[in-house]
Amino acid sequence: MISAGRWLVLSAVVPMLAACTGNLHLSFLDPQGPVAAAQRWHFFEVLGIMAVLVAGPIFLLLPFFAWRYRYGNKASRYAPRWEFSRLLEIMAWSGPIVIVVVLSFILWRDTHRLDPYKPLASDQTPLRVQVIGYDWKWLFIYPDQGIASIGMLAMPAGRPVSMQITSATVMQSLFIPALGSQIYAMGGMVTRLNLEADRPGRFLGENTMYNGNGFHQQHFTAAGMTPDDFSAWVQNVRAHGTPLDARTLQLVAGRSTRAALIDALPGKATHDGNLYFTHVSEALFPAVVQATLDGRAQLPRSALAHADPDRPRSADAPHSASASTP
């Protein structure tokens, strides 16, 4: 009966958020955050410079030369032994060099400006999210809220999200094109990614690094929400989510698609095919990193600690074992 109630409430909240925002945003050419917008600008800047300075002359001159100096045209000048001109030679080398120097400046500037590790400028503290790549789903952990989700990465619009990313299996790559950069997730290692959504909306999220049969189904929705909606969402997950206990986590860690995982957890998913978890310990993410590094399947019990979201928690929360039902 709990699951039915949860189902109803979550089903009501999530579409409500989505409704006001329309379609899924797929592309950085339709940017929904500052990083993707800067990337779009950079993309067109480089493309424009090259279209004018590189492609333009060649696309004009090649057909012209081919036609003007065609075999049948006896009127054009024929210089079969002409093989060198200092002036043209200097132009042939200096042209590309100048273009590359200009492009290098842009490259240097934007590589630093858009470094995915660099925190985004904002007057708000970033929302912390820890991401674990499993075969073939992403687990998003909100350590400060004590919740987690699969299939849905909710974030308050206008507030940066600071992600720590790892993989519990093979290499993967976390990517939300409409928001910005992708970054690899690697076993035993932690990479970082900073993104932000400008406004509420739904954005395509995916893995771009092939990792087996369910690869093409490793999608998720990133959802930008107003701060109030986000708080409501967190409350809803806390109130109605499934506790992330050892058994559940074991199922999550198996090689299965999100759909198959939902079949294995009957009644736990919302109607849009997402899973929400409560009682998620802050110790879980580092524990998964360490376990992958050590080649252990089993996590320490403390990592599956029962978290009480309303109180500040210490790293080894007391009620470790009893992470079954709320």
Partner 1 sequence: MSIAGIFEHPLGRLGPDALPFWQMLQHPTEGNIINGCVATGAASMVVIGALVMVVLLTRYRRWGVLWSDWLTSPDHKKIGIMYVAIAFVMLARALIEAVLMRAQQAFGLSGGFLSPDHFAQLFSTHGTIMIFFMAMPFLTGIINYVMPMQIGARDVSFPVLNSISLGLTAAGAGLVMVSLVIGKFSTGGWFGYPPFTEASFSPGVGPDYWIWSLTLASLGSTLTGINFAVTIYKERAPGMTLMRMPLFTWTALCTSILMIFAMPPLTVATAQLALDRYLGFHYFTNALGGNMMNFANLFWLFGHPEVYILILPSFGVFSEVISTFSGKVLYGYRSLVMATMAITVLSFTVWLHHFFTMGQNANMNAAFGIASMLIGVPTGVKIYDWMLTMFRGRVRFTVPMVYSFGFILLFVLGGMSGILLANPSVDYQVHNTVFLVAHFHNMAVPGVLFGMLVAYHFWFPKAFGFRLDERWGMVSALCWIFGFMAAFFPLYVLGVMGLPRRTVAYSEASYVPLEWVAFLGALLILVALGSLLWQLRVSIRHRDENRVAAGDPWNGRSLEWATSAPPPEYNFAVIPSVEGRDAFARAKEEGCAYQSPDTYRDIELPRNSAMGPVTGAIGFALGFGLVWHIWWLVILSFLAAVTTLIVRGFARDTTRVVPADEVRREHLRWIAAVNATTAVSRVDECRPVNDGRARYEAIGVAP
From 101-109, 125-133, 153-161, 265-273, span contacting partner 1 (CB under 8 A):
101-109
Give the one entry of Cu ion, partner 1, none that residue 1 binds, where binding means its C-beta sits below a cut-off of 5 to 8 angstroms depending on kind: none
Question: In whole angstroms, what is the distance from residue 169 CA to residue 139 CA?
Answer: 13
Nearest to 119 by CA among 156, 161, 153: 161
Residues numbered 102-161 forming contacts with partner 1, rule: CB under 8 A: 103-104, 106-108, 110-118
Give the one entry of partner 1, Cu ion, none that residue 62 binds, where binding means its C-beta sits below a cut-off of 5 to 8 angstroms depending on kind: partner 1
Beta strands in 100-210 (DSSP E): 127-134, 137-142, 147-150, 152-156, 161-167, 172-175, 182-185, 191-195, 201-207
In the bound complex, what is the minimum distance in angstroms from residue 195's beta carbon to partner 1? 11
267 interacts with partner 1 by CB under 8 A: no
From 26-34, 221-229, 264-272, 303-311, span contacting partner 1 (CB under 8 A):
26-34
Question: In whole angstroms, what is the distance from residue 277 CA to residue 283 CA?
Answer: 15
| Inter-residue contact 289 to 271 (CB < 8 Å) | no
| Interface contacts to Cu ion, rule CB under 5 A | 186, 189
Q: Which two tokens stand for residue 83?
A: 């093989």
For residue 2, the one-letter residue type is I
Q: Which two tokens stand for residue 166?
A: 């790892």
Measured from the CB atom, the residue of 1 and 66 that comes closer to partner 1 is 66
Give the one entry of Cu ion, partner 1, none that residue 54 binds, where binding means its C-beta sits below a cut-off of 5 to 8 angstroms depending on kind: partner 1
| DSSP for residue 269 | B
Candidate list 5, 119, 212, 254; residue touching partner 1; CB under 8 A? 212
In the bound complex, what is the minimum distance in angstroms from residue 235's beta carbon to partner 1? 30
